[in-house]
Copies of this chain bind each other. A is one copy, B any other.
């Protein structure tokens, strides 16, 4: 399973905090039952434009990885949780939302490595969600 999260409205102080992101990458694999194969690494990057800066972090877990890329001046963060083992997507999302105080997320789940999974049907899904709002478009509430 590969969970990809784009988070918006995040706390800029969390997004610029190398220690917080390192701690997240260090503890999160254990929380969701994964095994780190190297310690996490975190770097602060500054691009050509003033607002193009942020913290990028990475931890390798058994044959997969977790990554974080933050944009403090935009309140934006990209998170990937990719594991060959199944994990609880809902719990993982809650943890990510809490860590970075996200108010909105775009979420993709990709069922990867299908040849070695019980699910034979390739699929992917994508969900947009605003924290505190329940989307009811399909029920004609619009």
Interfacial residues, chain A to chain B (CB-CB below 8 A): 2, 4, 6, 8, 37-38, 41, 43, 45, 47, 52, 54, 56, 58, 60, 62-65, 67, 69, 71, 74, 76, 78, 80, 82, 106, 108, 110, 112-116, 122-124, 126, 128
Contacts and interface: CB of A to CB of B under 8 A. Distances in A.
Given A58-B58, A78-B112, 17 more contacts: A4-B110, A37-B43, A38-B41, A52-B62, A56-B60, A56-B64, A63-B71, A64-B69, A64-B78, A67-B82, A76-B116, A78-B82, A80-B80, A106-B112, A106-B114, A106-B122, A124-B126
Contacts of A63: 45, 47, 52, 54, 56, 69, 71
Copies in the complex: 2
B69 A67 contact: no
Contacts of A45: 37, 60, 62-63
A46 to B, nearest CB: 9
A28 to B, nearest CB: 17
